[in-house]
Amino acid sequence: MPAILQFWFDPASTYAYLSAMRIEALAARRAVEVEWRPFLLGPIFRAQGWDTSPFNVYPAKGRYMVRDIERIAAARGLPPFRLPDPFPARSIKAARLALLAADQECIAPFMRAVFQKAFADGRDISDDDVLRECLRAAGVPEVDAIIAAADETAVKKRLRRETEQALRLGVFGAPTFIAPDGELFWGDDRLEQAIDWTIALRHRRA
Amino acid sequence: MPAILQFWFDPASTYAYLSAMRIEALAARRAVEVEWRPFLLGPIFRAQGWDTSPFNVYPAKGRYMVRDIERIAAARGLPPFRLPDPFPARSIKAARLALLAADQECIAPFMRAVFQKAFADGRDISDDDVLRECLRAAGVPEVDAIIAAADETAVKKRLRRETEQALRLGVFGAPTFIAPDGELFWGDDRLEQAIDWTIALRHRRA
């Protein structure tokens, strides 16, 4: 049985961007498989009483978050960090497209492209043209058909179910990593621990 | 000029406990000096609209925090983590005593003792007997005189000034580390970065 680590993210999440850019390389080195699980933070933040990102609700924390990510981006050789305007971006279409890209086994390159557009290029990821570029960069076939499919009721429902599932699993922010036994890790700075935990589980079962 | 890293903490802070137990060893290895800066989170949380710890305001985050610290404590060989009841503890007297222990060059061992009582033994750190044990363990002379001095107006004012200073510096949680150039790092998981930053500054100046 392959060791699978779930990676729950919202395409508008700043810290999920940091994880998206390194999770595949880190996990592959340890023979762990990554399951990309897009969802929307909006309903989860509303359940906590916020009508926007906590980085907007608490300005001191928001200013710190930008500085923190600037430092981490520099240390990891990522491009200078840009906070998109508006922040958070409206990420619903990117999240629906991520589900469809997963069906084509293209979700990892698609999401890396989306995150880079948002946080390195400062582009608006609710824009169809930007999303089209990302789909193309990820090698997704029939880009226009996929863009259209993202507005279908079945896809909308699928994303809603994913967000409900995230809430049920105890997700309260992004990125969240969930190991095969349900153990939950929150934040890019817990990614290594989540991978270690997943591997330890495999050894315990073997 | 010695490289000095400020370590801002509230004695009731769970993640400050994790830093308190390792900061002196980590910093000494890199020839960095630690300045322990006690303050109270209460007024800072109130400025963010909370009347208690965010771990109580947001229960999912509170449950996760306990699990996160349990895992980290295990990995670092600390005793099993205990969340004191009530949480957060009333830490005002411990914080005032920490200022007085600093005058005697005993703040590090005093605070390690206080944090251990709170988060390993589950003791109430607002209790004078518990605080007396911590002062004794830290080698503070004239324990009873110090306990009495903690209620003097001058000491109360001093702690209030420290908390105001924390707010001015942009502190919004604990632990917070501030490098000599004012660069701010939040959270036990940023301690290594804060030390690296402090050392890089020294090299830049040399």
| B157: number of Cβ within 10 Å | 10
- Interchain contact, A193 vs B48, CB within 8 Å: no
| Structural domain boundaries, residue B79 | 3-205
| Nearest-Cα residue of chain A relative to residue B61 | A172
Question: What residue in A sits closest to B171 (Cα-Cα)?
Answer: A60
Total tally of structural domains belonging to chain A: 1
Average pLDDT value for residue range B91-98: 98
Q: Which residues of A touch B60 (CB under 8 A)?
A: 48, 170, 172
Selected for mutation to probe chain B from A41, A44, A71, A196 (highest B CB count within 10 Å) is A71
Suggest the residue from A15, A172, A188, A189 to mutate for an interface test with chain B (most B CBs closer than 10 A). Answer: A172
Count residue pairs from A and B with Cβ separation < 8 A: 39
- Is the pLDDT at A82 greater than 70? The verdict is yes
Which residues, 6+ apart, have CB-to-CB distance to B184 below 8 Å? Answer: A64, A67, B169, B170, B171, B176, B177, B178
- For residue A137, the domain's CATH number is 3.40.30.10
**Span of B59-63, B72-76, B125-129 with lowest mean pLDDT:** B59-63
ipTM: 0.92
Q: Is A87 on the interface with B (CB under 8 A)?
A: no
- pLDDT, one tens digit per residue, over B139-149 is 999 999 999 99
Q: Is the minimum CB–CB distance between B170 and chain A shorter than 8 Å?
A: yes
CB contact under 8 A, A60 and B48: yes
Q: What is the mean pLDDT of chain A?
A: 94
Other CB atoms closer than 10 Å to residue B74's CB: what's the count?
Answer: 12
Tens-place pLDDT, residues B137-194: 999 999 999 999 999 999 999 999 999 999 999 999 999 999 999 999 999 999 999 9
Rounded to the nearest angstrom, the minimum Cα separation between A47 and chain B is: 10
Under 8 Å between Cβ of A163 and A91? no
Evaluated on CA atoms A106, A4, A16, B46, the torsion sign reads: positive
**Is A186–B67 a contact, with Cβ atoms under 8 angstroms apart?**
no
Best of B55, B176, B186 to disrupt the A interface (most A CBs within 10 Å) is: B186
